[in-house]
A and B are shown apart, each in its own frame.
Chain A
Amino acid sequence: MKYALLIYGSEAEYPAPDSAESREIFEAYMAFTNEISEAGINLGGEALQDTQTATTVRVRDGETLTTDGPFAETKEQLGGFYLIDAPDLDAAIDVAARLPGSWVGSVEIRPVWEWDPSG
């Protein structure tokens, strides 16, 4: 099955970009990414810039409404994601527990809809 691992954390608590702590986190993510790539289960993923850069778009009655900021103000924000291939939820939980984001914030596991081409 395909699972999305959505990484949530509090932007307010992120370390400064050039700090030693920030480098440590970056290295932990690199190690994690290598690990799942070597295991052949990494289907992709990205880190997102913070929600100050976010723009939200809604189209209503043919009109495009554009607002500054994320779709909702929350204590923890979506900061990135991975897409992985895992045989079942237990395997996905194992991977999520190794994801550095789960040690400080939270990782939400969501199975991905898999459309059947022949359907």
Chain B
Amino acid sequence: MTTTGATLEHVFREEYGRVVASVIGQVGDFELAEDAVQDAVAAALTTWPRTGLPSNPGAWLTTTARRKAIDRLRRAANFARKQEELAYLVELDRRASEEAEPDVAITLSDDRLRLIFTCCHPALALEARVALTLKTLGGLTTDEIARAFLVTEAAMAQRMVRAKRKIRDAGIPYRVPSDDQLPDRLGGVLAVVYLIFNEGYAATSGAAVVRRELSTEAIRLGRLLCRLMPDEPEALGLTALMMLHDSRRDAREAGGRVVLLDDQDRSLWDREQIAAAFELLEAALRRGRRGPYQVQAEIAAVHAGASTPTDTDWARIVSLYDDLMALVPSPVVALNRAVAVAMERGPEAGLAAVDALSNRLDGYRHFHAARADLLRRLHQKDEAAVAYRRALELSANDAERAFLEGRLAEIGAETPAM
């Protein structure tokens, strides 16, 4: 195998998350583990060009990092607590070299699963959970994460340092939660992954290219969770949902303007990704424990399965929204249901359902946009214009604003000056 710079970079990117996860598991300290892995990478950069790539670069990096951690602890071993860690690590290293590497693949996947739960621990601030997950499991650099969330690299680095210190000092454990905590905690992990996806997909702001990476990364994390917890149907459901949304990526924007589902060129949808998502969703539903992500994926699947908008089984979508309402009653779900009702039974029925939500959703831009659209279809131009303007007032997303302004022009009304 060659050891060009590009090959090495590829190896590091592939292996980094797994190696860090494994070393954190062994040394029990994020900062020490990351520093030790950096040391190991530096060692690899000088060793591998001479010796060639080892047969298992991940195992090589893990072993080297563990020894680098021992070196670092020796240098700092003036506390009894560190002495204990040191003795433990030296013992671990002795056993590891005696037994050669045991089943590396299994140990590594366990390590990563534990690490996901640590990074997404509810005792950490939500932004810190997102950043740590992307850095430690996604292998994104601090700079990449900072750009995606529109903060300086220094601010993002500071945020991560604080989070890692809290993990260490507050004793946030490095393990898969006990059975009674698992449902809550898994929900928290899935929420972080979905948040990362939506940051990339429904960009509220930021540069498009970096954003796209976030969605791709979220799907990769989702697939990782599916592999690590194949019996958790909501992990499968969430991953299917993200893949179904993502399959429409190339069709949902044209010339800087949002293109609604009905108007999208369906030949641009990624059929391969849709097929893969269907498989995941079926596997999830076979478990017989339906949850909100699975139902949302089922809704997205109905759309994905329709070759034209008129082909869509709207009655099925309304009934799936009823199921979703039963699981997570929320006015936003009710709004989506109302839009589906309009498609099934006509704009008048839809408008009645939308209007019933007015006092709860008055500050929500999609409420006014949906209402405006129904009024437009009912030819109530003046009222439609009022609703479009209200939606514009509430929107800060350029592509969305361009769409709303376009609709205002279509019904012959002027865009308000901002």
Contacts and interface: CB of A to CB of B under 8 A. Distances in A.
Q: Do A and B bind each other?
A: yes
Interface of A: 1, 3, 86-94, 109, 111, 116-119
A24 B391 CA distance: 53
B255 interface: no
A111 B169 contact: yes
B286 interface: no
Interface in B171-206: 171-173, 177-178, 181
7 contacts: A87-B173, A89-B170, A90-B178, A91-B173, A111-B169, A119-B78, A119-B79
Interface of B: 78-81, 121, 123, 169-173, 177-178, 181
Contact of B171 (A92, A94, A118, A119): A92
A64 B55 CA distance: 71
Output the residue of A90, A91, A119 with the most chain B CB within 10 A.
Answer: A90
B171 A116 contact: no
A111 B170 contact: yes
A116 B169 contact: no
A1 B123 CA distance: 17
Contacts of B181: 90, 94
B80 A118 contact: yes
Nearest to B185: A90
Nearest to B83: A118
Contacts of A3: 171
Contacts of B177: 90
A89 B80 contact: no
Contacts of B171: 1, 3, 86-89, 92, 111
Nearest to A92: B171
A90 B173 contact: yes
Nearest to B167: A89
Given A111-B170, A119-B79, 7 more contacts: A88-B173, A89-B123, A89-B171, A94-B181, A109-B170, A116-B79, A116-B81
B173 A119 contact: no
A59 to B, nearest CB: 29
Nearest to A3: B171
Contacts of A117: 80
B116 to A, nearest CB: 15
B170 A116 contact: no
Nearest to B122: A93
A119 B80 contact: yes
Given A89-B123, A90-B181, A116 B173 contact: no
Nearest to A90: B173
A118 B81 CA distance: 10
B78 A89 contact: no
Contacts of B81: 116
Contacts of B78: 119
A86 B172 CA distance: 11
A3 B81 CA distance: 17
Contacts of B173: 87-91
A116 B178 CA distance: 31
A90 B121 CA distance: 9
Contacts of A87: 171, 173
Contacts of A118: 79-80
A93 B180 CA distance: 13
Nearest to B173: A88
Nearest to A88: B173
